[in-house]
A and B are shown apart, each in its own frame.
Chain A
Amino acid sequence: MIRFEQVSRRYPPDIAALLDLSFEIGAGELVLVSGRSGAGKTTLLKLIAAIERPDSGKVLVCGQDIGELKSALIPFLRRNLGLVFQDQKLLFDRNVFENAMLPLSIIGCPAKEAARRVRAALDKVGLKKRERALPAELSGGEQQRLAIARAVVHRPGILLADEPTTRLDPASATEIVTIFRDFQQAGVTVLIASHEQAPFAARSPRRLLLERGTLLAEPDSGLSRP
């Protein structure tokens, strides 16, 4: 599903965000990319979502080489991804329902079907009763759940979440991890970048540990070693 082959990414003047990174994630896996701030977790997710391109190496997502992908085709790749951003990127002038509806509007889903899917997604994250609320009226945990509902409403094959449990209390963080596990069990490939370990401890997902752009350890797979 996702394959990195000796991928490097540098930022000016000469800061290596990722160095010679290789690993593979199969369909339906739940993977935690962990490491300290600045380890390269967000860059890794950005490469998968084609928000950035690798300087060298190959990033293959669903068989498509991100480095070679034409700009005009990027939107169509992203429609198969669900993105949960570190800063959530909620639209504060739209209510919960309208925020979750956005990916379905983009793919041109008919109104009735879209409404049904939005309600199902909100139900899944426990926000069905708050569909008329504005994001500003939600708690931090609810905002994060809304971001997750928006990421999965169009039924993507891959879900990428950047620091989804940051700023959440332990109970909310555990709830969020449970939601991700449910999506994985429904067949979605889930990739979570987080510097936190605790919320995921009980779920023991496959873990990629990054440090200064290199893969330090991958205890469960044996696909890539530093």
Chain B
Amino acid sequence: MIAALQALLTRNVHALNWALRRLAAAPLASLISLLAIGIALALPAGGQMLLGNTLRIAESFGVRPQISLFLAADTDRRTAEATGARLKNHLRVREVRFVPRGETLKRFQAREGLAEVIAVLSNNPFPDAFVITPRDDGPAALEQLRDEFSRWPKVEHVQLDSDWVRRLDDLLRLARAGVALLAVLLGLGLVATTYTTIRLEMLARRAEIELSRLLGATDVYIGRPYLYLGALQGLLSGLAAWLIVLAGTLAVRGPLGELPGLGSLQLLSAQDSLILMGFATAMGWLGAALSLFRQLRNTS
């Protein structure tokens, strides 16, 4: 058992060594190839990074959707406090701000043109209200909360600005779909490039492959170095894409930082970076596996 594991480990080390040596054997050609794929992968990676920054900037401008909850005009102070406590304890509510009716009246009185109108009213027409920031600001979650709050006692009206939330959500969804589509298309490009690279590599080493078969090599043994080569090519392309995005971000970070309200541009998150590397590695491996399957079937 230990001997078999040791043999497996040895074969994998040989395969990885071979793949590294293949890349190092033609450094310029390898570099150009990796850069070409890296630039292509940098487009969706950069798109993802921009999307993340757009969201962050939108949040910093205070455009996080909120729900306004208006109590009935005849609601007493105790009921208002109970509603406030219930909102604070609600699991899907991030923040609650109480706006007493007196404060609303004062605000309106301070507005030019409205003071005279309000002065003729015999009593305060404004209700107590709560401004709620939900944890989940997706349109569906907002509408669910609105429906729930509407059923609470003494709640007169619940208002949410779902139109712009919906629009923002649609735009983000579209942008995300665009980034995903770009990633898939360019990922397929990586698969095709690796497929061709491995095919040419196998054709060049046809004699060695045939000899190895005669000496007792299995298809797994023959294919392993090429799978490593494809995966390595993908991983290094992903790394190149990451470096390109990093360089691009650092280059525009300074000038953008000087624009008021934008703040500094965030780099790709650790999670997005790992997804980029993993995706590129998987696509490289897939291209190599497809090529291997075809080549080995043709030569067997």
Contacts and interface: CB of A to CB of B under 8 A. Distances in A.
B49 to A, nearest CB: 43
Interface string B187-218: 00000000000000000000110011111111
Nearest to A114: B10
A89 B213 CA distance: 12
Contacts of B11: 105, 108
Given A105-B14, A108-B10, A78 B207 contact: no
B8 interface: yes
A110 B2 CA distance: 12
A107 B211 contact: no
B10 A75 contact: no
Contact of B215 (A106, A108, A110, A111): A106
A133 interface: no
B208 A106 contact: no
A136 interface: no
B216 A103 contact: yes
Contact of B214 (A51, A105, A108, A109): A51
Interface of B is mostly: helix
A107 B8 contact: no
Contacts of B216: 75-79, 81, 103, 106-107
Contacts of B218: 72, 75
A78 B211 contact: no
Contacts of A108: 6-8, 10-11
Interface string A94-113: 00000000110111111100
Interface residues of B, number: 18
B16 to A, nearest CB: 13
Given A106-B221, A107-B7, A109-B7, A89 B214 contact: yes
Nearest to B218: A75
Interface in B7-59: 7-8, 10-11, 13-14
A111 to B, nearest CB: 7
Nearest to A90: B211
A49 interface: yes
Nearest to B300: A71
A49 B6 contact: no
Q: Which of B10, B208, B213 is packed against the most chain A CB atoms within 10 Å?
A: B10
A76 to B, nearest CB: 7
A190 interface: no
A216 interface: no
Interface in A21-55: 49, 51
Given A49-B214, A76-B216, A110-B10, 5 more contacts: A75-B218, A78-B215, A83-B214, A85-B214, A102-B215
Q: Which 5 residue pairs spanning A and B have beta carbons closest together?
A: A108-B7, A78-B216, A79-B216, A75-B216, A108-B10
